[in-house]
């Protein structure tokens, strides 16, 4: 028997640092008014599905986005999951493009930052834990662009581009109990259906 758990992976709404193209990472920057509007706009595409509950990163920009969405969809208060926190970029946080940021860069990352592999593993573990605890559920997960992108890339073993603020990314986690295997299927990326080959 195979159990399918469905996730709506939503990146939080815009912050002032997003607008200024500054690296946020684990720095707790709140939503701005545009971000609150984006969270409200995310409700319509989500309302086409039936959702059981909502969870989020504990960072305020994700938590507020989840609370705004959850309230409008009539869901209980979002549970905060530390594993969904954005990648820690270390000394690169707060910087925008320029010499200071470039001095920290090396192929595949930044000096003092959490590795892409660690971020992906943390994100996938959080999703697998949810699927194990709530098999067959339909769960909205509000997190962060890099965490969502790296987690999807790892799960699907393919390149995933940037994740836009408050867009719907619909993914299914299939768990076959007979041989304890899992498979992931991505149906929507940034609100757009994927074409199957």
Other C-beta atoms lying within 10 Å of the C-beta of residue 38: 22
Examine the residue annotation and report whether 12 is marked as an active-site residue of this protein: yes
From the list 53, 108, 104, the residue with the least C-alpha distance to 81 is 53
Predicted local distance difference test score (pLDDT) of residue 94: 97
> 115: helix, coil or strand?
coil
- pLDDT per position as a tens digit, 143-178: 999 999 999 999 999 999 999 999 999 999 999 888
What mean pLDDT value characterizes the chain? 95
Beta strands 109-110 and 181-189 are unpaired
Residue 194 has a pLDDT of 85
Per the DSSP assignment, residues forming a β-bridge with 6 are 138, 172
Distance CA 83, CA 86 (A): 9
32 is in an annotated binding site: no
Spacing of C-alpha 92 from chain mean position: 20
Q: Are 17 and 24 in contact (CB under 8 A)?
A: yes
Fold classification of 2-193 (topology level): Rossmann fold (3.40.50)
Dist CA 35 CA 14 (whole Å): 4
- Distance in angstroms (rounded) separating the CA atoms of residues 178 and 90: 43
49 annotated as a binding-site residue: no
Check 86, 114, 144, 154 and give the catalytic one.
86
Q: CA torsion 137→141→146→152, rounded to 10°?
A: 10
Give the model's pLDDT for residue 196. Answer: 56
Residue 61 annotated as lining a ligand binding site:
yes
Domain limits, the chain: 2-193
Annotated binding-site residue? 174: no
Residues 6+ apart with CB under 8 A from 120: 150, 151, 153, 154
Binding site annotation covers 12?
yes
**pTM for the whole structure:** 0.96
89 is in an annotated binding site: yes
For residues 76 and 56, what is the distance between their CA atoms, to the nearest angstrom? 12
Residue 107's pLDDT is what? 87
* 86 has catalytic annotation: yes
Q: Quote the pLDDT of residue 197.
A: 44
Question: What is the residue-level pLDDT of the chain in tens, covering all 197 positions?
Answer: 889 999 999 999 999 999 999 999 999 999 999 999 999 999 999 999 999 999 999 999 999 999 999 999 999 989 999 999 999 999 999 999 999 999 999 987 899 999 999 999 999 999 999 999 999 999 999 999 999 999 999 999 999 999 999 999 999 999 988 888 899 999 999 999 987 54
What is the predicted pLDDT for the residue at 82? 97
Q: Which of 12, 154, 173, 175 is catalytic?
A: 12
């Amino acid at each position: 028997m195979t159990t399918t758990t469905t996730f709506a992976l939503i990146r939080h709404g815009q912050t002032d640092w997003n607008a200024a193209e500054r690296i946020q990472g684990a720095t707790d920057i709140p939503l701005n008014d545009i971000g609150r509007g984006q969270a409200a706009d995310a409700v319509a595409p989500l309302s086409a599905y039936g959702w059981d509950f909502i969870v989020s990163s504990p960072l305020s920009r994700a938590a507020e986005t989840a609370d705004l969405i959850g309230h409008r969809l009539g869901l209980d208060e979002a549970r905060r999951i530390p594993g969904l926190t954005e990648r820690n970029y270390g000394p690169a946080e707060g910087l925008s493009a320029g010499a200071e940021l470039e001095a920290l860069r090396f192929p595949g990352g930044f000096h003092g930052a959490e590795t892409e592999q660690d971020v992906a593993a943390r994100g996938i573990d959080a999703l697998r834990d949810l699927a194990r605890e709530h098999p067959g559920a339909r769960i909205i997960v509000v997190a962060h662009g890099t965490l969502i992108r790296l987690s999807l890339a790892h799960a699907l073993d393919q390149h995933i581009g940037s994740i836009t603020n408050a867009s719907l990314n619909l993914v299914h986690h299939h768990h076959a109990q007979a041989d304890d295997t899992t498979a992931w299927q991505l149906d929507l990326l940034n609100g757009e259906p994927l074409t199957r080959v």
